[in-house]
Structures are given as C-alpha cells and as structure tokens.
Amino acid sequence: MSVRLAITTFVFSCSLLVFGSAAAQNIVLILSDDQGWTGSSVQMDSRVPASVSDLYLTPNLERLAAEGMRFSNAYAPAPNCSPTRMSIQTGKTAARLGATDIIDVVPNDQGAAGLPGFFANFYVNKPLLVPLPISDIPDEEVTIAEFLKQHDPDFATGHFGKWHMGGGSPDRHGYDAHHGITTNSPGMMGMPDPKRTAEVTDDGLAFIEEQAAAQRPFLAQFSYYAVHTPVLAMPETIDRFRQMDSRGHTNTFYAAMTEELDAGVGRILDRLDDLGIADDTYVIFTSDNGGEIGGGVTNNSPLAKGKTHVWEGGIRVPLFVRGPGIAAGSESHVPAIGYDFFATIADWVGATIPLPDNQDGGSLHEVLTNGGFGTVERGTEALIWYYGAYRNGKHVAPQAAMRKDNYKLVWELDSQRTYLFDLDGDLRETNDLSRFSPEIADAMHNELKSYLEGVGTKIPTINPDYDPSQDPGLLSVTGVN
Amino acid sequence: MSVRLAITTFVFSCSLLVFGSAAAQNIVLILSDDQGWTGSSVQMDSRVPASVSDLYLTPNLERLAAEGMRFSNAYAPAPNCSPTRMSIQTGKTAARLGATDIIDVVPNDQGAAGLPGFFANFYVNKPLLVPLPISDIPDEEVTIAEFLKQHDPDFATGHFGKWHMGGGSPDRHGYDAHHGITTNSPGMMGMPDPKRTAEVTDDGLAFIEEQAAAQRPFLAQFSYYAVHTPVLAMPETIDRFRQMDSRGHTNTFYAAMTEELDAGVGRILDRLDDLGIADDTYVIFTSDNGGEIGGGVTNNSPLAKGKTHVWEGGIRVPLFVRGPGIAAGSESHVPAIGYDFFATIADWVGATIPLPDNQDGGSLHEVLTNGGFGTVERGTEALIWYYGAYRNGKHVAPQAAMRKDNYKLVWELDSQRTYLFDLDGDLRETNDLSRFSPEIADAMHNELKSYLEGVGTKIPTINPDYDPSQDPGLLSVTGVN
C-alpha cells in the first residue's frame, strides 16, 4: 500500500501577505497509539514512584516534560482508537458523537472499512444487543482544523499518519495536507521503517518547513502508528534493549518500538528549534488510549487493566504540553482529557469566533499558565467515557465511566454492576466504595445515565435470543464455535 | 541462612528385610511454585493452541508429558502457597482446613512467621472483617507421609525445598528427611544456585539413592522455590533467552528461571532411570497455583487473572503423571485437583487402611489407567476454592469458587457478586452466564455456601468501622497512607 501525501489548497502568496514577518502561533499535536500512562521514561506523577517504565527509554519525552507541563491525571476520551480521535477533533465525548467503538466494526455493506472478525465476533449474538458505532466522522462536526480555518482562513493544517476516522478524506474535514483515511494497516509495513515513524515524521516536518518558510501559522498533527501492535522495531534498536535488566516492563521489542517513536518526537522538537519557531509553537503530546495488556505487549501497572477498558489503565495517558507561558518542568494534577484540546487551541490562537455547539471539553489554558493549578470550565463538568462494545478476549463488555473530582464511577452495562473509586486514595481502583458511599455512587450513576440519555447514546438492551453456545467471541474448547 | 538436612528415623535393616529384592512402589511428587498453566513448553490442552508458552523451554516436562498423562483441567487447591500445600498433604480443601491465606500473615505474637506487611496491609481496617488463616498444619491432620507410614512403617518419606506449612517441623508430620520449615526465603539466595533448584534436587536425589540402595519404598517430594519471585537465574541461562523472539511471554529472566527448574526435573527423571527404578516409581509434577501476573512477571493467557485469584489463571496448573499403567503421551480432560493426590497415592500403594476422615479429594487411578477417561469419586463432588484475604495490589478480596462439570461459579465476598461460567464454551471466563442461567448460578452458590458453612469456614463480615482513608493496602497519591 502506498501512502499518499496530498497537499492541497495552499495559498502561499496570501499567507505571506497577511502575516509578514510577525511571529505565527503554531500548534503541533502529537498522538501516539496505545501508549499507556507508564509507557515512557517520564514519571507521570511525582507522588507515585511507580508511574514510570523501568525499561522504556524516551529521552525526547523527558525533554518535552522538562520544557513544559506534565499532567498526572490526563485522560484519553475513550479506551480505544477511533472514538478518541474523533473526540479530540471535535471537543465532544465519544458518547455524544456515537463513536462507541472503532469504525472498522461496521460491516462493508454499511459503508465502512469492515474488519470482518470484529463485527462477527463482537456484534452478532451477544448477551446485549449492541448498536453499531458511527463509521465516519460526521461532515457536520467541526474539527480543530476547520475551526482554525474559520478563525483564520490562512491557517495551514496537516495530519500525518494514522487517521482512523473514515469520513471520506481528511481534506473534507479541514486538513490541507494528509496521508488519506489511513487506519492501522500502514503501521505494519516491515523494514526499514516498520511503524512508519520516520515517514510520518518526514512528511510532517516537510509540511512544517513549508509553513515556516511562508511564515504561515499551522496545525501539524503527527499521529504515529507506534506503539500499536504488531510490535515492530529495527533489529539494532531491539538488540540494545535485549541487554537490559527490567522487572516491570519486559517486552524488549515493545521497548524498541517505543524508543523509535520517541526518536520521531525528538526530530520534531529539534526541527522546531532549527526553524527558530519553537517559542511560537505549542506542542501537545498524548496517546489515544492506555497500553495493550493482552499477549504480553505491556502493562499499565500500577493502573488497572488496559486498552478497551474504561478503568484507569485503559484511559489514563501521558500528556505533555509545551509552549508560550507554560512553565518549564511543571506538573499539574488537575484532570485533563483529550476533548479539552479543542477549546485550549481556540484559546491559544485567540479565536474570537464561538466554539462549536455542545462542546464537552474546556480550555486548559488557565491551568497551563498558572503552574498547573486552576480549573477547567468544561461544557460538561464531569469527565465521561462510554465504550459500547464487546471484546471477549480482553474481558470487555459495554461499559461507561465518569470522573468527578477524585471520584470515579465505573458502570458495566452487561452485568449491571457499578463500582465507585476514590482515585486519590486508591489509584489502582481496588477498593469499591459503592457499598460504603452509596449516595455518591447512586448520584454519579444517575448523572452518568442522564448524560448518556441526553446525548442520545443508544444504550444496549438485553438480547432475548442470545445463545452462548453460538457466541463466536468466546474461546471454546469443545469445538462448537 | 543455612538449609538443614535432617534425616531421621531410618531403619535400613528392617526395610531390607521386608522388601528384599521385590520392586518397591515409589512416589516422586514434584511441586513447582507459581508456575501457571501456560508456564511450560508443553501444550496443556491439545484443543487449545494457546495453552503453551511461546518462550519458556521445558524439555524435561515435555519428556514427562510424553511418557505419561497430561491433565488439561488440573487445578491447584488454592490460588496461593500454604493453602495448596496443606491441601495436597491432607486431601482436604483449604476451606476445610481453615487455610485461607499463607501462614505468614499471622502476626508473630500469635506464633507464626509473621511477615509484618501482610498483616498490616491486608488484615487491619479492611472493608470486611477477615479472620486469620491457620498458621500451622495441624498436628491432628494426617499427611500423605503419615498415611504411607501407617500403611507401611518402612515407607521412607522426604520433603526437599519449600515447606511453608509451619507446624514445628516436617518430621512432626511424617517426613523423615527434610529441609525444615522453610518458606520463600531460601529461594532468594544469590548465585550460583539462585533459586536453590540444584540443592533441592541434590538432596532429594541423595535421599532417593539411599532408599533405592536399601530397596525401600519412598515418597520423595521436591518442592522447588522456582518460579516464585524474585525472578533469579544464572547469567548464562538468561543470555540464551535474551536472543529469543516471543510475543506472548516476554520476561527472559523468568524464562531462564523456568528452564533451570526444568533442568532439576530432568535430573530427577534421569536418576530414576540410572537407578533402574523408573518403572516402579510414580512421578507427579504440578504447581501450587497459577502464574504471578503482577509486575511483568508472566501471564496466564488465555486464562483470566493469576496467582491469588480463584479465576482460572490463579488455579489451573500443569499436571503430569507418569507411572505403571499410565499410557505414554496420554491426555485427560477430566478435572483433577491437588487434593486428589492423597487418595491416588493410597490407591497406588494398595493401602488397605481407611483414608483419613473428611477427604474432599478422590483417586485419579481409574482415569490414569483408562486413557484419561472415567470418573473421580471424591469425598466432595464439586471442586471448591476459598481464599479469604485481601491483596489490594492484585485486585483481590475474599473470594470463593466452585466447579461442577463444565460450570464454574465465582463468588466475590466483598462485593457480594457472583459469576457463572461455562468453561467448555468460555475458557477465558469472559461471559457471565448468571443472568441467563440464574437457576444454575443460584444452585451452585447455595451449594458452595452450604459447603463452606459445613466445614466451618469463618465467612468474613462487614467491618462497620472501615475507614478507606486509613486502609494501608491502598495505593494513595494524597500522602494520607
């Protein structure tokens, strides 16, 4: 498969005319794939010694943290790929968008990519009747790119790497330069650039150089295929990690893949320096969900569970933000979530046009410029997660969660069980407080249900015809399935 | 710490007199520590391709499986150490014995080893008031060794390696030769025998040689410290695994430790050959519980969870049995459990004295000599697990489980939640059937509760004074704990 680099609708002369030599306000949004909270060599919470990998080496993320702010309580909007990406692009929860699973589960005959196994295993003959997710980012949703162009028609917008939001083409959603409607498949292409980290970086940097030369403000999104499976890295990188002694993280291949991802980040930071635009550029680095814990890939310890779970291991992710007014080496314990980036970026560029309707997120600007303290005024006060799918091999059934202050409620829709955790006192989510504080649990559960109903989430209902013996998602030893 | 080798009460002349040159009936019981179902290079279920490690190499366990019977549905009697060992020794469930946790949690002032952290973290100020386990194997319980001596006073009995049952001394419980009341600590002694695998093997083989020379029947128990944490192995073994490419199991240190354990097994099998007694000796190999999944040690995929959980990953273990009348390379899907060994061994030696009262297990002899088919007539029909303790870091609270035919019920005593699984159709325990088959779930739950009440299990009760902010088992980020 060839990766297409489409650069369209640039109007260089106009751009030069408008901005002259004035400093532009640029945004670099780097998204890693499946990188957990402890998936780097940056300790994500200064109070939690275990919040760092004992194997992975990410000197460039260390640099980014040292030059900006790290968020100890940062979240992906969803525990998996497409929903998080759509949420970041729109400032809305995955639930509000109907992005309840990756787009690929929607069958071909309904117009989507259609990974056959996912639909057959996780949507047919399941205990609950599970509505399908949307298969495309809707045209009517305003993306960060579209908003920036509304704010300033000369804003250059590029998206490089994994898209995984369908929707025809990224340029239909505001992106001038892009790699097309890529999913996971380009990230498994073999040597010498096994996760295409170099290519994503090259193309994104070429885009940045063009805008810098033109002194045109830009949004450059680097959406890396790493560190999603398959676990691939260059042999020489793997060989370095083979000699390491670690006990918490032990997958040297994954460590190598992580280091190669980090090298891409380093090239971006270096190029911003070389171009003399580092001081005019905000850099966000985060991940689309927690680490994959199946098959020995990694673990998110001390957090519970991983990718596709709304438990902390599936949604708490690294977040570093660097830019004008953000203190170097600072740390914030204020909860932040990917759907806050929209309003934050709007603040950064000084947008005077209103945000799109129904924003769930809020701007992190106050927290970022106030040493990590302050509040985030969100469209929806609580943080909300909804993942409406089965993944039997990962012990996942439809689930939702809400965080308010230090409390988190987890709602398993299949078993109709709820859990209440105090994340300050019980980071690992081991101690269900719903029995001790039923008033808090009930209030949060009701608020969560009200929110989901309010945004039109199609809550799964019991499947009266469910036949466990014919459930293809189960691992049977009897040969029935 | 020096390991004591005490060999007492041997009466060689008598032994020779009784047995003359007739073939003796010997038993070698090898117990590994924390080795999960997929913790070897033997595929444990011919129908489940994933039931084998993709990294660990255990050629000697492969040999044992090829020369005897493997059990795909074999269980440890408990998800952790002391309870399983006491259960194996007595033929009774851990619940009946009151062995609801490892002995070390009992504080010093109550006469036990007293690992301080365990009592403080997991028994004080917890959501449930949790009774302490017994700290010693009771004198009134008849062990396998004592039973064999009742059957034949000349039976030589030796226990080498980890004991972890307290009780004063192994010789107080029928063992002539032993290493004392060892726990985990000898298994962390550094090079050149980091897990003391060589020493345990050496001493056990010396014991066997003495009995063989005397033509005296023997029970030799090799209770290895491997593959419990800390993960230790010889550098040259580790170096071999560093070059391996694996994706499911990735901890090369653990792989090395496993291989060194396997080498011990190989030395035992070879020595039985050399001594010409292999045909007169039954060999059992199993583990005391599933693999440790915390901290990147290993995983039990495709099984759920691991050590200290009554889910399959914590209790389903390798089991190989070789000996007279057992077909080479055979496989049984009949459920077997460690507390069956007592009655099985009684069958093997042709004991005519009655088994001790209240045996929960039954003899595997029919299944072993019938190509893996048949039934096990147990004192208690269902398989029963009860683990009455917290381990917050492992997401464990008091729990119980029961297996009948292909159904398994899991009962979480803290949350009062039950789960019902069809293990044939859902090996991974992902699909809770309690909503679909409430009559089965309720019947099994009632049977489980009745059993526990019948054997006098002290079921934990709600702690009215529980204060989560002072629960030392929780990982707090606020500095309160």
Query: What is the CATH classification number for the domain harbouring A441?
Result: 3.30.1120.10
pLDDT at A480: 45
pLDDT digits (tens, 9 = 90+) for A171-203: 999 999 999 999 887 777 778 899 999 999 999
Q: Quick one: tokens of A187? A: 């990230």
> Which CATH number covers residue B47?
3.40.720.10
- Say whether A248 and B301 touch across the interface (CB within 8 A): no
Distance from C-alpha of B440 to C-alpha of B450, rounded to nearest angstrom: 15
Residue B17 lies in a domain: no
Cβ <8 Å between B48 and A480 = no
CA atoms of B411 and B406, how far apart (whole Å): 17
B321 and B392 belong to one structural domain: no
Q: What is the pLDDT, as a whole number, of residue B13?
A: 36
Query: Are residues B298 and B419 both part of a single domain?
Result: no
Q: Which two tokens stand for residue A356?
A: 């799109």
Residue B414 with chain A: CB contacts under 8 Å = 432
Mark B75-92 as b/e (b = at least 16 C-beta within 10 Å).
bbbbbbbbbbbbbbbbbb
Which residue has tokens 């438990």?
A311
Same domain membership, residue A438 and residue A355: no
The interaxial angle of helices B341-348 and B144-151, nearest 10 deg, is 20
Which amino acid, one-letter code, is at B112? A
Chain B residue at shortest CA distance from A429: B395
A76-85, A372-381, B245-254: the lowest-pLDDT one? B245-254
Q: What is the DSSP string of B196-249?
A: -HHHHHHHHHHHHHHHHHTT--EEEEEE--TTSSS----HHHHHHHHT---SS-
Residue A263 to residue A99: CA distance in whole angstroms:
32
Residue A159 located in a structural domain = yes
Look at B424 and A247 and tell me if their CB atoms are within 8 Å: no
What pLDDT is attached to residue A361?
A: 98
DSSP category for residue A168: S
Q: Is it the case that residue A111 has pLDDT exceeding 60?
A: no
Mode of pairing for the β-strands spanning A461-462 and A128-129 = antiparallel
Per DSSP bridges, beta strands A399-404 and A407-412 are: antiparallel
Q: Which of B48, B250, B474 has its CB closest to that of A431? A: B474
Inter-chain Cβ pairs, chain A and chain B, closer than 8 A: 164
Strand partners, A219: A27, A157
Question: Is it the case that residue A2 has pLDDT exceeding 50?
Answer: no
Taking the alpha carbons of A35, A40, A46, A47 in that order, is the dihedral positive or negative?
Answer: positive
Identify the pLDDT of residue B208.
98
CA distance B432 to chain A (A): 8
Give chain A's domain count. 2
Residues in chain B, pLDDT under 50 = 1-22, 480-481
Same domain, A161 and A276: yes
- What does B321-338 look like in DSSP terms, one character per residue? EE-TTPPTTEEE-S-EEG
Interface test with B, best of A476, A480, A481 (most B CBs within 10 A): A476
Nearest to A431 among B253, B424, B471 (CB): B471
* Domain assignment of residue B335, yes or no: yes
Q: Which of A296, A466, A481 sits opposite B247 (nearest CB)?
A: A296
When CB atoms are compared, the residue of A47, A301, A392 closest to B294 is: A301
Interchain pair A392, B430: CB under 8 A: yes
Instruction: Closest CB to B425: pick one of A47, A297, A468.
Output: A468
At A404, is the secondary structure helix, strand, or coil? Answer: strand
Contact B431 A392 (CB under 8 A): yes
B296:A479 CB<8 A: no
Chain A CB contacts of B423 under 8 Å are 477
Distance CA A174, CA A159 (A): 10
Last residue of a domain, one of B342, B358, B381: B381
Taking an 8 Å cut-off on Cβ atoms, the answer to whether B250 and A253 are in contact is: yes
Strand partners, A385: A401
Residue A480 falls inside a structural domain: no
Nearest by CB: A428 against B392, B432, B468: B392
Q: What is the pLDDT of residue A16?
A: 36
pLDDT at site B114: 65
Q: Does residue A365 sit in the same domain as residue A429?
A: no
**Cβ–Cβ under 8 Å, residues A377 and A359:** no
Chain B CB contacts of A252 under 8 Å are 242, 250, 252
Tell whether B479 is covered by a domain. no
For residue A270, report the phi and psi dihedrals to the nearest 5 degrees. Answer: -65, -40
- When computed from its CA atoms, the radius of gyration of chain A, rounded to whole angstroms, is 21
Closest CA of chain A from B375, distance in Å = 19
Q: CA B285, CA B64: separation in Å to the nearest integer?
A: 9
Residues of B in contact with A72 (CB under 8 A): 477
Residue B450 and residue B328 in one domain: no
| Residues of A in Cβ contact (< 8 Å) with B244 | none
Q: Which residues does chain B have within 8 Å of residue A477's beta carbon, measured at their own beta carbons? A: 45, 47-48, 72, 423-425, 427
Which residues have CB under 8 Å from B184's CB, separation 6+? Answer: B81, B162, B164, B225, B228
List C-alpha distances in Å: B315 to A185, B35, B47, B79, B383: 38, 10, 19, 5, 11
**ipTM computed for the complex:** 0.85
Residue A451 lies in a domain: yes
pLDDT of B111 reads: 52
Question: How long, in residues, is chain A?
Answer: 481
pLDDT for B481: 43
Q: Do B127 and A435 touch (CB under 8 A)?
A: yes
A296 or A417: which leads in pLDDT = A417
Q: Are residues B371 and B413 in the same domain?
A: no
User: Residue B384 is inside which H or E element, if any?
Assistant: strand B383-387
Tell me which residue in B296, B429, B466 faces A250 most closely, judged by beta carbons.
B296
> Is A332 part of a structural domain of the chain?
yes
B187 in the same domain as B323: yes
Nearest residue of chain B to residue A47 (CA atoms):
B477
Residues of A in contact with B426 (CB under 8 A): 392, 468, 471, 474-476
Residues A425, A303 share a domain: no
| A297: chain B residues, CB-CB within 8 Å | 247
In a domain, A323, yes or no: yes
DSSP letters, A343-362, are HHHHHHTT--SPPPTT----
Q: Which of B364, B381, B398 is the last residue of a domain?
A: B381
Residues B337 and B434 in one domain: no
Task: Give how far A425 is from chain B: nearest CA, Å.
Answer: 4
Q: Where does a domain end: B381, B404, B428?
A: B381
Q: Are residues B390 and B410 in the same domain?
A: yes
Show the domain range for A418.
Answer: 399-459
Q: Which of B387, B391, B423, B436 is nearest to B304 (CA)?
A: B423
Gap from A477 CA to chain B (nearest CA, Å): 5
Comparing CB atoms, the residue among B47, B431, B477 nearest residue A471 is B431
Q: Are residues B432 and B375 in the same domain?
A: no
3-class DSSP assignment, residue B296:
helix
Number of H helices, E strands in chain B: 13, 17
Rounded distance between C-alpha atoms, residue B163 and residue B170, angstroms: 8
